[in-house]
Amino acid sequence: MKKSKLIRHSFALIGLMAMGPMGASFGQEVGNSAKIGKGLYEIVYSSSGNAVYVAAAGSRGGNNAQIYKLDPVTLQAIDSIALTENPGYGLGINDKTQTLYTSNTRNNSVNAIDLKTGEVKTIVPTFEKSHTRELIIDEKSNKIYVSDVGKPSKIWVIDGKTKMLEKVIENTGQSTTGLALDSKNNLIYLTNLGTSEVAVLDLKTEEIIRSFPSGAEGAVNIEFDAKTNRLFVANQITGAITVLNANSGELLKTIPTGEGALGVRFDPKHERIFVANRKAGTVTVLDSNSYEVLADLNTGTYPNTVAVNPKTGTAYVTNKAQSKRDDPSFVDAKGDVVTLISFE
């Protein structure tokens, strides 16, 4: 195992304006923003550590990839872990074991990072073709599930105790991207971007037991509401969230949110859905019961993913940066920033 050096950083905070529909914020408003590293991708919140972790893949060939640990209030980067050999893109955290997992899309592997020591173990598959993307963690069983995008796709199952690839579940669909776990019933709901479908994977039999249309085009990410047995699906081509009955696949509601709807996060305690609309440059906040749009917030150039503090309802958004190939000196002031959305 490789032990990474922890480095302290500080960044200036950048204020961004934000308003809800017709000028109202409905209790959701943009707070601090901080410019963090290069090539920001996914973000997670640690309840036990009271910290935010964000993956910065860096520039290609730059060997400057990092995982940044942020203060959840100021967004100041207080530590970082270098991932120069295996840059992380997707993130998942086991709060019980304080282990952070990264999907390394660039070289198709997974990192397991001990947040207490900074040690990094890289999990490499035995097969050649791979495209790791999304991670979900089952803290009860200490299992990690990783979507491997392909035609057909597969799901990796990693043992959190040994930090080894336990098995691979084959043939999950065309371009499997997003994952949502129903730990009580041992099911994974997954989005197949290639067919705009949701498939249901039985973890006991390791087979797809049913699939149904997402209700729109470009199903890319998904969240599961265990209390009401609903699915919330981000459809990037349509630019909308669809709400589905998890058992039948019945389309319950379609809610336009913005061009390039990508990241979706459900906060069951505060009954809010957060949607990062990448092309629109906004984050839409929805009431999960009435489906009312509570706010459309300008958070940065390309909103990518959202993490939520389950106690306070505070949300954190990564915003990717615009680049100009014909102008290497161009710096996007509202890109590669993490933005805080407060809840009142």
Confidence of residue 267 (pLDDT cuts 50, 70, 90): very high
- Cα gap 95→252, rounded to integer Å: 33
**Domain formed by 2-324+334-343, architecture:** 7 Propeller (2.130)
Q: What is the DSSP string of 239-250?
A: TEEEEEETTT--
CA atoms within 13 A on the CB side of 215: 21
- Residue 16 banded pLDDT, cuts 50, 70, 90: very low
Contact 156, 172 (CB under 8 A): no
d(CA 75, CA 269): 23
| pLDDT tens digits, one per residue of 50-95 | 999 999 998 766 678 999 999 999 999 999 999 988 999 999 999 9
With contact defined as beta carbons under 8 Å apart, do 341 and 31 qualify? yes
Contact 70, 56 (CB under 8 A): no
Range with the largest mean pLDDT of 4-13, 30-39, 51-60, 209-218: 209-218
Distance CA 37, CA 35 (A): 7
User: How many angstroms from the chain centroid is the CA of residue 227?
Assistant: 21
Question: Residue with structure tokens 């991708």?
Answer: 41
β-strand partners of 234: 221, 241
| Cα–Cα distance measured from residue 214 to residue 191, given in angstroms and rounded to the nearest whole number | 8
Q: What pLDDT shows up at residue 94?
A: 98
Query: pLDDT for 307-336, tens place per residue?
Result: 999 999 999 999 999 987 777 778 899 999
pTM: 0.91
Q: Which helix (H) or strand (E) holds 253?
A: strand 251-256
In one-letter notation, the amino acid at residue 110 is V
